[in-house]
Structure formats: structure tokens, C-alpha cells
């Protein structure tokens, strides 16, 4: 969360009282965008499309976590593989 | 099936990826060629086209040999493009085009009853055209014959992409990553996540998408119709992104990187951004080999809109030989044209968008894209009936 607050441009504006910023911050999408970007980086790492573990979650790079994650994926695959069908884009 | 079969992993992926890393560099392209050709023949024989389908490998080998004679500014490049398109038209559009001229199969003297689609022909076409155009422009290195054949027959991307570029593939082939441990960790993660997405999400949606037919649409309550088309939107994203994950993960086991195909397209807040993040390798191909040669966005505004419509029309036509795919392409062309006109009219905004504005933009993009899937997953009369029931009851 520190990262997210850090990226908020309003956070460094000490001259403006916090209360007067409420409407502006309410309409400002940048904190939400930063949060969503972090969530995306977590999912991207879990999905294998991002190489470095996301900020604040170094444990995701550990072999233990990798084993748990692969186990989860294999469990899902085994659970649902009976109903599989052809990939849609093979016919294109 | 292909990527979701044990055969793919046991007979092809794991042995070839290990062998590729063990042989000397000069032999590595031959590993790609041998396994690629075997992959094509095996899956053609067992799943697509049978013996005739397998024999189509000769067409692609011929096109590959022909490509070796390309030189900058040579007419052979143009001949190569034309023959590639002719092969695609014969296999993919023959019955569609003759059907447009003569009507139903019963009245069509040229109807090809045993028509089949050779494995990966649409994606082969893109890569052959890319190489021919870039050779004509002199922007691609010729490489060696075995390297070019490895590019064409690299089986992880052969059937449904991601669409590669020779300029980026060649360095990756000549100097693949030697980091066994991290490549296999990332590659296997990508493979497992891809398979889980396919089995646990995409295939689960089939229970809903099966209802997208005339009889079920006629019987269904109106409120359920958007859910069915939304289910198709979820299915096609998770199905194709799973396929791309498996292809990219497979390539990574070789120590090679191929282009990404998806980057959270449904999270985008306008249609132009959606297309930059949906089937990215196709978007870039269309941009480089259709939109920009047509004049791109440097023409007068009406011409730019026409360029967009032509590009998306071709995108729709490439996706399938059917009027519904053309309608889908034109729908997206129209959305892009409207977005472009709106953006120009509104001009640059000094302030970042508000939360409400962003949510509204996301909702409009999401709804319009998902409405478009109606054309993609149903024939044109059924899609029209679906939309009529959805909007008019």
C-alpha cells in the first residue's frame, strides 16, 4: 500500500489541507489505477507473464510457493479436464 | 484439441525442448524442423484433414523454399504473397465465395464437399506474407534455409500463433536462453496456468454458450440473453489466452521468447486500447501490413475512417469464411471509427479522467465488445435474431 500512496501526486502537496482534498481525491483515478496496476502485476506474476515478483510479495518467488501454486493448478486441471473441448482458434 | 492432450506434451513438447537444449547450436533449427513437421503430420492425420491434410505440409514446404528466392524489390516477393493468398482462398474461402455466387451447395456446381482447413493455414499465411513484404522492403535478414524453416515449422506457435516476426525470432533461435532453471520454471507456470484457464474457466462456459442457437434464443427469457453472450465473451478470452499461454510457455521451454498475445483487454476503457491488448500479434500484423500501407492515420480524416473499416473488415474475413465474421469485423471497425471521431472532436483533456468517467468508458467498451461476440459465435440470421430479441423482446 505504501507504493500506492507514494504514487498519489496529491500526497506530496503539503500546502493543501487534507480535508479540502476530499472531493478532488474522490474523483482522481490515479490511486485506484496504481492499486489496479499492482493487482495486475500480482496476477501477471502468478500467470507466468511477469518475471519479477511484485512489490511487497517476495514470498511469491520462493520454491515453496511455486510448489503450492503448481499443485493448485494441477488440482484444477485434474478436476475439470473431463469436460474439455477443442480450442476455438484451431478452426481459424 | 492439440494443446490439451497428453500426446502434445509427451510426444512433442518435452522431448523436443530437451533435445533442443542438448544438441549443438547448428543442429537446433533441425530439431525445430523435425518435430514441427512430425507435429503437423501427426495432428493432421489424427484431427484435421487426414492424409490430405498431412500432405498440405508439402504446400508449406514449397512456400518456404520459394521464400528463399526473395530479394529486396524483387517481383518474386509479390508472386509469393499472391500464391500464399491463393492457397488460403482455396482452402478457407472456396465454398464461401462460390456459395455467394451460386447459392446453396445443391445449386453450387463448384461446391467442395470434402473441404478441410489445413492445420494452422491462417497463421502460416500471416508469417509468409510478413516475410515476403519485409524481404521486398529489405527490412528482414535472409538467414539460413534451416533457420527460416525452423521459423515456419516452430510447432508451439504453428497452429494459432502468436504470430511471430522473423526479425525477432532469428536472434532468439541463434542465441536461445541458457537459463534452464528459470526458463522451465516460468514456462511450466505458463503452461499450467494456461491449461487451468482452459479447463476450469473456458470449458465451464460451454454450458451457457451451447444455448446460443435459434431454438434456445426463441424460448429463452430476455434477461438471460446478455448472460449467454457474456459467457461467450468470457469463454473466448480464456480459451484463446489459455492457448497463447501454452504456446508462449512451450516456446520458453526451448529458451525462446515469442510475442505476447493478451494484456488484460477487458480492463481497457476504449475500443482502440482494447485492440492494442487483444490478440496483440494480430493487431500489430494488421497495423503493419494493412492499415499503414493503406495510408494509416496520416490521411484526411474520412480516409482514416475508411482505412479502419477496411482493416477490420479484413480482420473479420480472416477469422472465418462467413458473413457473420465480416459483420463482426465491420462492427469493430465502426466502433474504432466512432472512437476516433469522438477523440478528435473532444481533443486532449488536461485533467485525468474521473472515476465515474473511467467506469462509464470501461462499461461502454466492455458492453460493445461483448455485443460484438454475437456476430462471432452465431451465423448472421441467428445473430440478428438474438439482437432483435435482446433489444426488442
* Closest Cβ opposite residue A29 in set B267, B320, B358: B358
- In the predicted structure, residue A13 carries a pLDDT above the cut 50: no
Q: What is the pLDDT of residue A25?
A: 60
Q: pLDDT category, A60, cuts 50, 70, 90? A: confident
* Mean pLDDT to the nearest integer, A28-35: 79
Q: Which residue of A has its CA nearest to B377?
A: A88
* Closest Cβ opposite residue A48 in set B1, B186, B318: B186
Q: What is the pLDDT of residue A27?
A: 64
What digits encode the pLDDT tens for the residues A21-30? 556 666 667 7
Contact B262, B241 (CB under 8 A): yes
CB contact under 8 A, A85 and B203: yes
C-alpha cell of residue B255: 529458451
In chain B, residues with a C-beta closer than 8 Å to the C-beta of A49 are 190, 245, 248, 260
- Quickly count: other Cβ atoms within 10 Å of residue A21's Cβ: 15
Indicate the SS3 state at residue B335.
helix
Q: pLDDT category, A14, cuts 50, 70, 90? A: very low
| Gap between the Cα atoms of B57 and B40, Å rounded | 7
ipTM above 0.95, yes or no: no
Q: What is the pLDDT of residue B227?
A: 95
Q: What is the pLDDT of residue B178?
A: 86
Burial profile A29-59: b = 16 or more Cβ within 10 angstroms, e = fewer = bebeebeeebeebbebbbbbbeeebbeeeee
- pTM reported for the whole predicted model: 0.89
Interface contact B196, partner A, CB < 8 A:
yes
Residues of chain B with pLDDT under 70: 1
Q: What is the mean pLDDT of chain A?
A: 76
Question: Measuring CA to CA, how many Å separate B76 from each of B16, B96, B122, B132, B381?
Answer: 34, 29, 21, 9, 42
**Selected residue of A36, A40, A49 to mutate for chain B interface (largest B Cβ count, 10 A):** A49
| Gap between the Cα atoms of B295 and B258, Å rounded | 28
Interface contact A47, partner B, CB < 8 A:
yes
Active site residues of B: 319
Q: What is the pLDDT of residue A23?
A: 61
**Selected residue of B162, B199, B236 to mutate for chain A interface (largest A Cβ count, 10 A):** B199
CB contact under 8 A, B352 and A70: no
Nearest-neighbour CA in chain B from A11: distance (Å): 16
Q: What is the pLDDT of residue B5?
A: 83
Amino acid at each position: 500500500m505504501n507504493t500506492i500512496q507514494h504514487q498519489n501526486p496529491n500526497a506530496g502537496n503539503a500546502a493543501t489541507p487534507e480535508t479540502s482534498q476530499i472531493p478532488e481525491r474522490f474523483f482522481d483515478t490515479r490511486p485506484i489505477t496504481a492499486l489496479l496496476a499492482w493487482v495486475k502485476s500480482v496476477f501477471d506474476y502468478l500467470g507466468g507473464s511477469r518475471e519479477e515478483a511484485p512489490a511487497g510479495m517476495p514470498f511469491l518467488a520462493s520454491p515453496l510457493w511455486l510448489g503450492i501454486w503448481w499443485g493448485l493448478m494441477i488440482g484444477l486441471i485434474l478436476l475439470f479436464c473431463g469436460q474439455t473441448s477443442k480450442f476455438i482458434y484451431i478452426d481459424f | 484439441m492439440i494443446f490439451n492432450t497428453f500426446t502434445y506434451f509427451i510426444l512433442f513438447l518435452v522431448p523436443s525442448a530437451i533435445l533442443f537444449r542438448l544438441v549443438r547450436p547448428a543442429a537446433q533449427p533441425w530439431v525445430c524442423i523435425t518435430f514441427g513437421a512430425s507435429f503437423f503430420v501427426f495432428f493432421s492425420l489424427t484431427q484435421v484433414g487426414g492424409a490430405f491434410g498431412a500432405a498440405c505440409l508439402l504446400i508449406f514446404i514449397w512456400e518456404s523454399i520459394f521464400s528463399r528466392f526473395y530479394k529486396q524489390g524483387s517481383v518474386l516477393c509479390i508472386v509469393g504473397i499472391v500464391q500464399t493468398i491463393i492457397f488460403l482462398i482455396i482452402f478457407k474461402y472456396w465454398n464461401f465465395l462460390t456459395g455467394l455466387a451460386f447459392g446453396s451447395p445443391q445449386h453450387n456446381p463448384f461446391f467442395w464437399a470434402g473441404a478441410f482447413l489445413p492445420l494452422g493455414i491462417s497463421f502460416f499465411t500471416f508469417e509468409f506474407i510478413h516475410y515476403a513484404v519485409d524481404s521486398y522492403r529489405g527490412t528482414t535478414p535472409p538467414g539460413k534455409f534451416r533457420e527460416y524453416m525452423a521459423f515456419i515449422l516452430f510447432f508451439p506457435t504453428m497452429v494459432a500463433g502468436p504470430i511471430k516476426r522473423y526479425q525477432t525470432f532469428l536472434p532468439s533461435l541463434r542465441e536461445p536462453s541458457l537459463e534452464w532453471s528459470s526458463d522451465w520454471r516460468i514456462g511450466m507456470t505458463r503452461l499450467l496456468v494456461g491449461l487451468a484457464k482452459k479447463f476450469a474457466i473456458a470449458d465451464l462456459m460451454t454450458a451457457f454458450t451451447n444455448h446460443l442457437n435459434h431454438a434456445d434464443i426463441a424460448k429463452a427469457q430476455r434477461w438471460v440473453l446478455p448472460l449467454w453472450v457474456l459467457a461467450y465473451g468470457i469463454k473466448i478470452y480464456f480459451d484463446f489466452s489459455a492457448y497463447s499461454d501454452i504456446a508462449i510457455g512451450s516456446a520458453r521451454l526451448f529458451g525462446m521468447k515469442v510475442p505476447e498475445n493478451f494484456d488484460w483487454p477487458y480492463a481497457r476503457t476504449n475500443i482502440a486500447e482494447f485492440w492494442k491488448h487483444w490478440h496483440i500479434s494480430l493487431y500489430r500484423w494488421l497495423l503493419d501490413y494493412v492499415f499503414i500501407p493503406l495510408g494509416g492515420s496520416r490521411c484526411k480524416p474520412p480516409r482514416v475512417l475508411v482505412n479502419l473499416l477496411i482493416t477490420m473488415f479484413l480482420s473479420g474475413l480472416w477469422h472465418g469464411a462467413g458473413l457473420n465474421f465480416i459483420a463482426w469485423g465491420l462492427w469493430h471497425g465502426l466502433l474504432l471509427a466512432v472512437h476516433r471521431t469522438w477523440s478528435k472532436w473532444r481533443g486532449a483533456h488536461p485533467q485525468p479522467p474521473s472515476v465515474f468517467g473511467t467506469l462509464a468508458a470501461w462499461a461502454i467498451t466492455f458492453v460493445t465488445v461483448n455485443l460484438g461476440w454475437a456476430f462471432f459465435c452465431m451465423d448472421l440470421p441467428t445473430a440478428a435474431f438474438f439482437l432483435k430479441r435482446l433489444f426488442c423482446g
